[in-house]
Structure 1
Amino acid sequence: MPEKSWIELLMLLAGEGATREEIRISSASLARHFGVSKQTVIRKLGELEERSLISRRVEPRGQFIRITSAGMSALRAMHQELEKILKQEPAKITLTGKVVTGMGEGSYYVGHPGYSEQFKRELGYLPYPGTLDIKLDRASLELKETLMRLPSKQVSGFKTSERTFGPVKIFPSKLKGETGAVVIPNRTHHTDILEIIAPHNLRKAIGLKDGDPVKVEVFL
């Protein structure tokens, strides 16, 4: 976590629901997300608390955090700055990489009614139950990291009797003229894989195979 990235930590907490209520979240899980030490996260949380951007209490049951009104103001200011930047820049970015075979989890998550109905509402179509996975090159990986921090459409998380499903960011996209959407789970770990959903099987529609180089237009 870069030295001046307290805003990234604040944004992550907001994504976990800390703007609406007090949430329980461990410093260890935050450290894993950012790929830094637990001590670094504890120090950053202390800085947020000193700035009165969060309220935090630690109990035997865990650590509880909520974003304060000052923290909300900081997030709104960042949002306004991003809007200014995006109005000056092109409304899309291009990511490049190669087609790879995923772990097969996409069909389960995309096809789950809790997600699929929300995707249909947000995108206007019911997505094919699976994702096209792209292994990004180094430059595009950095752009994906930026995408993860930008405002976007989003489907809400939900709970079943078996587990909890987190919220997912959505960015409309095009690949070789085919309409789709880049999906990024809010709780995703930093990875070089880009996942794309579409109304149909993109591999078959475009005739893609593992190793094929592709360019994905992502609309902001």
Structure 2
Amino acid sequence: SIDRKVGSQLMPDTSPGVSRSSQLDSETHPHVDDTPSSNEHHRPTPLPAQLQGRATNKTFQSMTYVPGLTPKIAGILQSKVPEGTVITSTMSRSPPPPNERSSVVYRLGCKGCEAKYIGATVQKTEKRFSKHRSDVRNGILATALSRHTLSSTGNHEFDFEDFDIIGTEKVRKKLMLLEAALIKQERNRINIQEEFAAIDNCYNNLLLNLNNH
């Protein structure tokens, strides 16, 4: 009877559908599930070889586009940060007529001399120019433009038909900074000091150096 019990314990299980290997696996590894884990389908994609072992943190910094200034700054940054990307962009679609544009920096020229007046407005330029004309007509010395026109001898009217849009910026504070930067770059400006005081003194030398090249 002892031999019979031992013999029965050593006999393989011949139950249909159950193999000896699966029976041994379940006996030796009772908690192992050989079903593929669902997590295997969500493994993160490895980094390309050229990026492995290299810091990939990116930072983004925007700045107002100043014609003549921003491209030079972008060139300096590109030379100092070879692995960085410096992108300058401007609007590609056709802008409205100059006298209907708003949130711009404009430049007016005097008909009697080389004087230039630079101003900024969040209104349409047409409306802002109407205010300039009104100041001159009524003898109001509110801006350097009206002071130049009324205080100079000869014909020193400004040409409100032939003017330049030299900058655009939707954010009012940035528009004021843009105006100040462009005033400082203009050699023939008549703008008074208070009109470009928004630019910090630390930028003075940079602006002057760029303006001289």
Tell me the TM-score normalized by structure 2: 0.23
Larger radius of gyration: 2
Structure with greater proportional strand content:
1
